[in-house]
Amino acid sequence: MAIATVNPATGERVREFDPLTADGIEDKLRRAAEAFSSYRKTSFAERAGLLRRAADILEDEADELGRLATLEMGKTHAAAIAEVKKSAAGCRWYADRGADMLADEPWPVQGARVFTRYEPLGPVLAVMPWNFPYWQVFRFAAPALMAGNTGLLKHASNVPQVALAIEDVLRRAGFPEGVFQTLLVPSSAIEDLIGDERIRAVTLTGSEPAGREVGAAAGRNVKTSVLELGGSDAFVVMPSADLGKAVEAGVNSRTLNNGQSCINAKRFIVHADVAEEFTRLLTERMAALTVGDPMKDDTDLGPLSSADAVETLHKQVTGTVEAGARLLTGGEPLDGPGSYYPPTVLTDIPDGSPGHREEFFGPVALVWRAADVDDAIRIANDSPFGLGGSAWTTDPAEQDRFVTEVETGMMYINEFTQSTPEVPFGGTKNSGYGRELATFGQRSFVNAKTVWIS
């Protein structure tokens, strides 16, 4: 993929960027290593001050920065502004709490002073996706920089201007030269970067195939890695649920970010007693959404990120329908310029069809009917993914079963999955390993050094 800004609302190629040369990459690596040798010696108070200044810039320039995200990947401008402000909040959260989370941790050993000291590792390579082009980066950068690491960002090739804007924000906030740098390089450069001895760890948010490659490269080079991969989150609705609230939450979750989020509600698993009514309400709400220009205030859904994304999603939809699923609304790419796909609902999903096991990255709701709580748990676990999930029930026994028995890294009851600094984020099975955010995110890229003083 070319490193280029292509407006998905119009298909216009706005700007292209030349990838870094080998000498350019070497210069970035050298600067990151040199910067780490001094930056690691700064105090937590100094780093917190820099993060707070970055937060100020993000908040002051949220409209302009948000426009870049809308231009490059198509989310609505309102959603883009909210994402920039969320990134600012993440910076402040780690600025306020990072020192306490990385304080020496004592251990009870008689006759000695024993503790764990959390020390930065060095330059960390971040391979980040386009769907939340600011938040995904800052949820890595804020804790990593607060810990004393330096960062190298290989962002998705379709959001180069956002990638450069993030580096610019952190530079203007006062972070020393080389502490955070953007690498405009193709994906083919990642393996060699991981193999470079100056890179000490790697984090990736992206697809399962990309995660396998990055995880394998990190393993070969014995380097710490965190992988946040795809998801096909279950959204379970039981008879005791408030159907109105469940439908509203389900539509909001499924269409968040134009349906392009790893933690969207994707598989709606509904008890037979309420399946007909829930499906009717869900279909009505999805069909009523306004699809259009992401810069307009009355737009509910903007375009998908690219023409290729539309083609991939439509192939999955048609394959599922051809296998026997029922199409209730949507299901055909919209005419005209831009990469638009309508809100779509499929039900009666056949085993072995694309809807059964694949992740759908777009505004497509897949609906299953469950006979009882056992059947709902079975369907929820019948997926290679295990990122997030939610269950809607007021029955305490059912709540406990969903929390205990659904195979996922995050389980929400009467709420849909969220990504917020206060809560650990990550999955199991093919959704990756490691955790971001909260204390986990702060300690993902540190050396937990045991110290024993007699």
Question: How far apart are alpha carbons 10 and 337 in whole angstroms?
Answer: 5
Which residues partner with 181 through β-bridges?
152
- The percent helix, strand, coil of the chain (3-state, each to 5) is 45, 20, 35
Which of helix, strand or coil describes residue 243? Answer: helix
Instruction: Please report which residue ranges of 174-223 form alpha helices under DSSP H.
Output: 190-195, 208-220
> Rounded to the nearest 5°, which phi and psi values hold at 133?
-65, -20
Task: Give residue 332's Cα distance to chain centre.
Answer: 27
Q: How many CB atoms lie within 10 A of CB 64?
A: 11
Structure tokens that stand for 442 in this block = 């702060």
Q: How many helices (H) and strands (E) does the chain have?
A: 15, 20
Measured distance CA(332)–CA(398) in Å, rounded = 38
Contact assessment for residue 73 and residue 131, using Cβ atoms and an 8 Å cutoff:
yes
DSSP state of 174: T
Cα–Cα distance, 114 to 107 (Å, whole number)? 5
Residue positions annotated with a catalytic role: 228, 262
Tell me 164's DSSP state. H
104: left (phi > 0), else alpha (psi -120 to 50), else beta?
Answer: beta
**H or E element in which residue 355 lies:** helix 354-357
DSSP per residue, 164-208: HHHHHHHHHHTPPTTSEEE----GGGHHHHHHSTT--EEEEES-H
Q: For residue 27, how far is the Cα from the chain centroid?
A: 29
Rg (the chain; Cα; Å): 22
| Nearest residue to 362 (alpha-carbon basis) of 71, 74, 3 | 74
Burial of 383: CB neighbours in 10 Å, binned 0-12, 13-18, 19+:
buried
Q: Which residues contact 287 (CB under 8 A, 6 or more apart)?
A: 329, 330, 343, 345
